[in-house]
Each structure stands twice: as structure tokens, then as C-alpha cells.
Structure 1
């Protein structure tokens, strides 16, 4: 195959979307998108996080293996899968309800006074927090070339620190880890001709 600079890809446009995780082995709940989308519209039932910082999104598939050694060979004769993982990492820079609730792992509730809302919202951080399952979609594109990564069932596995500064914007660094969903960690959709068999 000859070198082809037209098959070098960037991701100048994209978005990250979230919805409640679908019901495992049940019916109802979030319908996982199976279409590629148009690169601009959120999948049905999903909400956008808004802007991420200029480092974009890091998607990491990983497989950890263990070598199987044999008396008759100085090198492994087989590798056995120990674990598999699929993670998405991004630093979100829009302060909105969706982003902050996922970052803090709790929900905003309006403070009431005399049975009426006060316009002040409170977020309680539990000493024994519930771990919220979500569904995640990451879209990115370069002109007409579209990609969509779908993680049906996931959970936040790591959070960065918020730096409060006079000159630095607020950032919400999140690592989201895929969990098993009927034998799948997720999937990627694309219309990229670079991956077609005829290329």
C-alpha cells in the first residue's frame, strides 16, 4: 500500500454526550445509538457536556495479557488475556449542571424557604457516595469524515483537581471507564473511506 497523506486524520470538531446507562438485561431506559449521526446533533436521549479544553479527548483501549511459558521454549508460547479496558479522558471547561453533577458525583438541589425556591442551589457530598452509571458517546469529525464512539455502560473512575485562580478558567478533568454490557465495552462507527476494504 502506497503512502497517502489524504488518509492522515485530525479531529478539529467534536462533542461528548451523556445519558443514563441503559437497563442491563431489561427493557426501557436509554436507547444506545447505532447510527453514525451527522456530527452536530446529540443522539436521542443524550445531553452534551459542552466545551472541552484544547487537549481534546483521549480514548484508550487496553488489553493486559499474561505470557504462558513452556519448558521447551525460551519465549512465551501463548498469551492469555488478563483484563480489557476502554476509557475516555477529557477536561471539560463549561460549568453547567451536567458537568458539575458528574464531576462531584452528586445532584444540585434548590434550597427551599417557606416552601419556595430561593435561587440558591446546594450539592451534598456524601461520605458514602453512590456510583452513578452513565452511557457515553464521543463524536468527532474532519469535514465530511465522521466518527462516533459509543460506550453503553460506563462510570467515572478518576477526577482531577479544580484549580481556582484569577487567571485560569475552571476545569473538570474526568476519566470515564467502560464497563461490561452484554459482552461489549463499546464500539466505534465511521464513514471513513480509509478503513474500507477497497482502500
Structure 2
């Protein structure tokens, strides 16, 4: 596992471990301090630290100033990570197993939404797109960030398969939809700088 240690640089990345396991079969690192917070979504496998074990589908938020000793299980893992992107007063510690959480009806038929976090106008959620769902054309106040967890997400600008990360600036516009395979996406809105 490659652990990136950056002082306070904003980082968004997806990590997978190397085949270098410790004596207990786990890949681990030393203490990681999160001066600007850390947000994690476990895509595959199991991520853990001294506070718990987090299987596939777990959403974590570690607030500014928090620290932990992360580990990847013996069978490996893949995680989506955002570092140093919290507001200084966003001190919520969150641990949600999204596989056991409830979905709510979205704004159009075929969409299901699971809210994960909200703070100062920024909203984070999972959005499940049933096959052949069309959403309304819209713009993004404060921008939008999407990570495609499963399936394929579309808009008039392109096709975005599993593993694609999109970042659209303040007031960007699009008309998203899904096709036969549907999609599951991580979405964050309202968190990018308004110029």
C-alpha cells in the first residue's frame, strides 16, 4: 500500500495496496495525521485502523486534527480518498456502512439517494441510477464532484465507466443519464470555490 503523506495539500485519489504485507498478512502504515481532514470510501476489500474494521461500502470522515494507524486486510482493498478538504469547523466523525443503510427516493423516477454528510452548503451522497434513467438538465452552484463506483454514468459530454472521477466547476451544467447497466456514484456538491 502506498500511503501519501502530504502536509496540507488537497488530494483526491484512489489507492490499491501492493503485494507487500506485514507479518500478520496486513499492509499497514505508521500514524497518519489529518490536519485538514480525511474522507474515505471503501471500494473493495477491507480497510481498518485502531478504531474499527471497515468493509466494502463503508464511508468514513475523520475531522481536521484527527489521526489513526491505517491498515489494509490480507485480501487487499481499494479505497477512494480525499485529504485536507474539510472546513476547519467541520468536526463530524462519521462511519457509515452504506450496505446496511437506507436509500431514499431521488428527484426523478429511477434515482435513489443516500445522504452521507452535509456541512455549510456542501452535500455528499451516494446516488443509485436504475438502468435508463434521465435526470433534468441542471447547473452546479459551488461545483460538483463525482466518482463512479459501479456501472457507467453518462452526460452530453461523455461516458464515464467505473473508476472515473469527474470534477466540474462552479456553475457548470450538464444533463446526466444512465443506460442499460445503471450506475452507482459518489457525489459531492457545493464545496468548490465560488468565483
Q: TM-score, normalised by structure 1?
A: 0.25
**Relative contact order, CA 8 A, sep 6+: which one is greater?**
1
The structure where strand makes up a greater share of residues is 2
- Which of these two proteins has the greater Rg computed from alpha carbons? 1
More helix by share: 1
